[in-house]
Amino acid sequence: MRGVLHRLIAVILVPMSIVIAILIGILCWYSFQYRTILQNVTAASAFNQNFKSDVDLKMFYYVSDSAYATGKPMDEVENARALAQRLLEQTTEKESIDSIESVRDLCETLENRMIEIDNAETYDEGMTQLENNIYILTDLIQTFMYDYLYYESVHLSELQSEITRQVEYIIITIGIVFAIVIVGILLYVSKITEKITTPLTKLAGRVEDITRGDFEVKEPVQAEEIEIQTLSNGFEEMVGKLNSLIDENKRVERRKRHAQLELLQAQINPHFLYNTLDTIIWLIEADKKQESINMVSDLSDFFRFCLSRGRDIISLQEEERHVLSYLAIQKIRYQDRMDYEVNIPESLYPYSVPKLTLQPLVENSIYHGIKLQREKGKIVVEAVDLDDKIELTVRDNGAGMTEERLQEMRTAIINGEKVGFGLRTVHERIQLLFGEEYGLTISSSQGVGTTITALIPKQKQDEKVIIND
């Protein structure tokens, strides 16, 4: 089809471009000639207005030795000769050339006579030379310049008429070429329209069948244009893949739900529940009524947020309350062995986060970091606004990991191996929901601590979460 369109464009543009180029060339040539003649006529007219009177008057003052005398007007005559030479170089008509050559020669003669006037021995002799030489020469110069103006004006008028005729011829030519091009285009378009519209109509009908749910692979529409044929083949190939894509989407959804269930089951950890209940019993036996009440309340909140009314996406504020409940329970259990700090800006509260994202990271910090050292540890949970993303960080100053162990955990998370306390599941859920550019990253130093970062898109709960499948 590209070739068809190129040929169609060529049929339109090539003849028109040739005609337009010729038109522009002719007009430019005539415009240049017209402008040159007009400039010459203007310069000659300006010269003729004052040349004779100025030269005659200055020479009279000079010969009569008047108080107004400023010397011989040699500059005026030299300027007149230079003007004549310039006009001669730009003039093409023979009569005009003869006239302007006479002006140039007379200017040279006038210069010589102006020099000879200094040889006059008496006043009367000087006045005689003024009358018989200077005045006559300036009058001749003015006359020949008038002749030049006349011939150039005639030539200008003829050129204008010639331009008008040429434009008329070109307009007629353009009209004829345009009519031929239109007829050719109509014939050509009618031919290619049939080759394009017929298979396209069949292809449109096939698309309507697909939209109604007909996913049975059929014979492609046959077309001479390769693009239409490729499009038809692609439709049939697409139909063949649609069922596969639907099945794959179902598998992804099952994987996502399986990850949700697996993570939820991981949180409802029997050992965690047993240990918490043992702690509550211990508090009651120690007559610590308020602490036991607080722990039961935190445990209730913890499991309530685990369920979250069946929602998979909750607000960051809800996720914060959930992790605070968990940390409060663990704080009572571990007493002076653990402190914690949660810093989530209120401006980020409305934004959404996959349920049970922070708690598994905190659990990992407790059991793989704080619990493995004798000194008192601290866990810091933070959220940072990164314009279109949110960075959630869980940092501890626990035992940390060796470089080899750190690489094993990073590889396990990427490959989907079981590692840590729900880290793989959290990473997999984030990528299933938002794409591979999001997920968990881990950094750690032995004896210093571990930092786990979860990167998620910045989306509010009323916005549609994009599920990457």
Residues counted in the chain: 469
CA dihedral sign, ordered 442, 445, 447, 449:
negative
Rounded Cα gap, residues 351 and 115, in angstroms: 102
The SS3 call for residue 72 is coil
Q: What is the pLDDT of residue 373?
A: 82
Pairing state between β 352-354 and 377-386: unpaired
Annotate 422-459 with DSSP letters as a single string. THHHHHHHHHHHH-TT-EEEEEEETTTEEEEEEEEE--
CA angle (288 as vertex; 282, 293 as ends), nearest 5: 90
Q: Are 352 and 314 in contact (CB under 8 A)?
A: yes
Element (H, E) at 391: strand 389-396
Mean pLDDT, rounded, of the chain: 79
> In terms of pLDDT, which residue wins out, 226 or 86?
86
Residue that the structure tokens 């008496």 belong to:
122
The SS3 call for residue 25 is helix
Q: What is the pLDDT of residue 396?
A: 92
Q: Does residue 447 have a pLDDT over 80?
A: yes
Q: What is the pLDDT of residue 421?
A: 52
The token pair at 455 is 């990167």
* pLDDT range class, residue 225, cuts 50, 70, 90: low
CATH architecture of 268-457: 2-Layer Sandwich (3.30)
What is the per-residue pLDDT across 268-305, written as a single tens digit (0 to 9) for each?
455 566 667 777 787 787 777 787 787 788 777 777 76
Q: Does residue 117 have a pLDDT over 80?
A: yes
Residue 466: CB atoms within 10 Å: 11
Report in angstroms the alpha-carbon separations of 448 from 250, 378, 394, 396.
44, 12, 14, 8
Average pLDDT over residues 378-406: 91
Q: What is the pLDDT of residue 465?
A: 47
Q: Could you tell me which of 104, 106, 102, 56 has the C-alpha nearest to residue 81?
A: 104
Tell me the whole-structure pTM to 2 decimals: 0.46
* pLDDT range class, residue 468, cuts 50, 70, 90: very low
* pLDDT range class, residue 383, cuts 50, 70, 90: very high
CA dihedral sign, ordered 298, 303, 306, 308:
negative
